[in-house]
Structure 1
Amino acid sequence: MIRDDIKAAQIAAMKAGDKDTTATTRLIQAAIKNRDIEARTGKAPTDDDALVVEVLQKMVKQRRESIEMYEKGGRQELADAERAEVVVIERFLPAQLDEAQTAAAIEAIKAETGASSVKDMGKVMALLKERHGSQLDMTKASAAVKAALT
């Protein structure tokens, strides 16, 4: 499980004296804990790794947005700190599909559902997220689906 990998990485970073990795793994665990608390009120997650991947993807997205804002504001040292956090977080994410694999997955779902126009985008996106959600940045996937359906 990804949770166990994160905990093991935190312990290893603490033993090695790697303060940056230790701090980032603590942030990850706090975000996962918050998500667990939120999930108590709703339906229990069917797959724990899916929940953790969702949290990690959200953290990476937030940091990439921060990097962009820091660079626009001329705060390179803060952007570099965010980049270092992204590197640590991405260690725990499953391998992401490249553009060719993403296009192939979209084409397969298009053929399976008979999708031919942008009206069918919701159907394609739902199946894509169900099958490959942990391996894709859904924002980029959405643009690829839209391009494939126009």
Structure 2
Amino acid sequence: MTTLKAQLKEDLTAAIRERDELRSSTLRLTLTAITKEEVSGTSARELSDDEVLKVIGKEAKKRREAADAFADGGRTEQAEREKAEGEVLAVYLPKQLSDAELDAIVAQAVQEAKAAGAEGPRAMGQVMKIVNPKVAGQAEGGRVAAAVKKLLAG
């Protein structure tokens, strides 16, 4: 079984052979981020696939935020490029939950928190503790928090 990092390297080699500039530069930057993560800290180490996924997730989030910033600034070309890079990375990430799926998980967590005696806006932390492990990697923290707030307010 090949590791996710090895898969990224293979895909990078293929992208370079195919002269796919977008894919090769995106994968190169992502592999650099992974290497940087591996050498940070007290000793260099090999990242697990889960840790590599977190790095890819961070990189994809950066692309989304940059795309939004460029779009807001009227720089459509750069925004499109960032979006395209994000799509290259999305291939390696777990499928994101739909709004309906996320709402269902959050609703169940709100019920659990209420059963434990937590209600209203103060229950936010407890609900987040229940939801986060269930949606790990499948929904961004900001999206989860917004869904929790919406349900607790309602």
Residue in 2 that maps onto 1:9: 11
TM-score after normalising by structure 1: 0.85
Could you say which residue in structure 1 is the equivalent of 2:103? 103
**By percentage of residues, which structure has more helix?**
1
Give the match for residue 120 of structure 2.
117
Question: Are 1:129 and 2:108 counterparts?
Answer: no
Number of aligned residue pairs: give it.
147
Aligned to 2:64: 64
User: Which 5+ residue runs of structure 1 have no aligned equivalent?
Assistant: none
- Indicate the percent of aligned positions where both proteins have the same amino acid: 31
Q: Which runs of 5+ in 2 are unaligned?
A: none
Q: Is the deviation greater in 15-24 or in 90-99? A: 15-24
Which one has the largest radius of gyration?
A: 2
**Which has the bigger relative contact order, CA under 8 A and spacing at least 6?**
1
Alpha-carbon offset, residue 7 of structure 1: 2.0
2:24 aligned to which of 11, 22, 45: 22
Give deviations 1:27-61, integer Å, cap 9, x for gaps.
111111222223x349x99x823322222222222
Moved over 6 A (4+): none
Q: Distance in 1 between matches of 2:130 and 2:6?
A: 29
1:93 counterpart SS class: coil
Over 3 Å counting, the alpha-carbon distance change for 1:145 and 1:70 in structure 2 is same
Q: Does structure 2 conserve the Cα–Cα contact (< 8 Å) formed by 1:63 and 1:86?
A: yes
TM-score normalised by length of structure 2:
0.83
Residues 32 and 55 in structure 1, CA contact (< 8 A), matched pair in contact too: yes
1:76-91 superposed matches below 5 A: 76-91=76-91
